[in-house]
Amino acid sequence: MRLAERVAVVTGGAKGIGAETARVFAAEGARVTVWDVAGGAPGEGVAFRRVDVTDAGSVAAAVDAVVAEHGRIDVLVNNAGILRDAQLVKVKDGVLVGSMGDAEFDSVISVNLRGVFVCTRAVAPVMIRQGAGRILNASSVVGLYGNFGQTNYVATKAAVIGMTRVWARELGPRGITVNAVAPGFIATEMVRQMPEKILAGMVERTPLRRLGEPRDVALAYLYLASDDASFINGAVLSVDGGVVVGT
């Protein structure tokens, strides 16, 4: 029970890695609330609240609700994220046939980057009053190495690493650690629906020759949220099987 009596918030926790993280935290004794725009509680002992992480008012109300019920927030997992992949420009036979649109760029920036900023800004004062807390941010292996067709997504995941290191410096003296996790190719429901050829390519680029499971990432979050990681601050933990990404 490494998180006994801890109060945790997991954004984007209705499915995928976030849902598994919420379940693992609850099994380790935490009182977990999931924030998401759709769905519901992913398991027993997990509460659900409909929250838009890009909306400061929605987030502030959600923070107030958790504090009113539990009196504190010990762990924030900034997991919410979306994909809108496209090449910056796509040229065929010398002719421009497509590009990443403004809406595709802005929506990913809004959820994956602004959402992390908005949620952390709202939760940090609660943790400062407590004199302790854990903030865990979802980056990605592509935030470290880049990836074809993901200008918007890579920009957010690289920026999350930068914000993590800033906040580790700013909040560390207040007893709050801030770390990031950078998953590789993880077998979420969305990934499993990809064509077999794409999945095989992911496995081939991973030295362990398998896709990661959501639980692999959830256990990394568990470690960083626990007392075992009390002296880890400003780190980026890759959970990727040694993956090599690029063009």
Residue pair 179/168 in contact by the 8 Å Cβ criterion: yes
Pair of tokens at residue 189:
């429901």
- 243: closest CA among 216, 205, 213, 214? 205
Q: Which of 145, 153, 221, 223 is catalytic?
A: 153
- 161: closest CA among 125, 136, 186? 136
User: Is 223 considered catalytic here?
Assistant: no
Residue pair 51/11 in contact by the 8 Å Cβ criterion: yes
Distance in angstroms (rounded) separating the CA atoms of residues 150 and 22: 27
Instruction: Tell me the C-alpha to C-alpha distance, in Å, between residue 140 and each of 6, 123, 160, 239.
Output: 26, 23, 9, 9
The b/e string for 169-194 (b: 16+ C-beta within 10 A; e otherwise) is eebeeeebbbbbbbbbbbbbeebeee
- 152: closest CA among 246, 88, 91, 244? 88
Instruction: Tell me the C-alpha to C-alpha distance, in Å, between residue 23 and each of 13, 45, 51, 56, 238.
Output: 9, 8, 19, 26, 21
- 224: closest CA among 115, 82, 78? 78
Active site residues: 153
